[in-house]
Amino acid sequence: MSTDKQFENMVAVVTGAGNGIGRACAIAYAREGANVAMFDREADALGESAELVKAEGVRALPVVGDMTKLEEVEAAFAGTRKELGPVDLLVNNIGQTARENYSEFWQAKPETLQFVINVSLMTTLMCSRQVVEDMRERKRGKIVSISSDSAMNGDIGTVDYASAKSGVLGFTRALARELGPFKINVNAICPGPTNTRAMQRIPRDAYERAKNAIPLGELCEPEDIANAAVFLSSDKSRFITGQTLMVNGGRVFY
């Protein structure tokens, strides 16, 4: 009997699914009937996410690995295809700022720049590469990549992160052109400051400044991003590709 769930019997992959936006996306896709493979470096957090996904009555496949390493990326997707089948939906969520190594560009260390580029851009390219061949052959699929409104705003001290996340947007547009003839949609979401674990760890004055810069007067919630990702992965977005959806409470207009 049909349950009218949008992603029933589909396979979704969500990277960085241990916490925050990734966890919210994994749960949201599960609620729509998808079996969900979840990748993250943190085993305990990933296990918690998997239990929440299973509670929605679908299959959950937690995969612990470092998605900056090609061999681990390849193994994660090979395991997903073996256990769940070919991937229908991909959410590229992995990414982070320099955090404690934050600095203005004139002080930035090359190794920090390389790390942020690897985590926030190269993971998106490498994970997408693992699904596009199957999607082309099947002439179906949705890829949603999580960028950041820092790519548009150019926040001080985030040159590396803004560069990487801008790269995600360029990648999205170019890949959408390549895959359009195969009926595959490729889009990006730009969250603003979001109420995640990383945001909760910053100094209180910085937290308040971020919140006060948002016209709607509050931080984005991970579920807000998950709702946008579900829309961009659904049939309702069938004629939307190569686009950037800002989900930031009006902090940056684009």
Catalytic residues: 161
In whole angstroms, what is the distance from residue 164 CA to residue 97 CA?
Answer: 10
Do 143 and 131 meet the contact criterion of CB atoms below 8 Å apart? yes
Structure tokens at 151: 């790519």
The total of other beta-carbon atoms located within 10 Å of residue 10's CB is 24
The total of other beta-carbon atoms located within 10 Å of residue 148's CB is 28
SS3 string, 198-237, reads: HHHCCCHHHHHHHHHCCCCCCCECHHHHHHHHHHHHCHHH
The total of other beta-carbon atoms located within 10 Å of residue 244's CB is 18
Q: Look at strands 11-15 and 142-146 and give their pairing.
A: unpaired
Query: String of b and e for 156-175 (b: at least 16 CB within 10 Å)?
Result: ebbbbbbbbbbbbbebbeeb
In whole angstroms, what is the distance from residue 74 CA to residue 135 CA?
Answer: 16
Torsion of CA 134, 12, 20, 232, to 10 degrees: 80
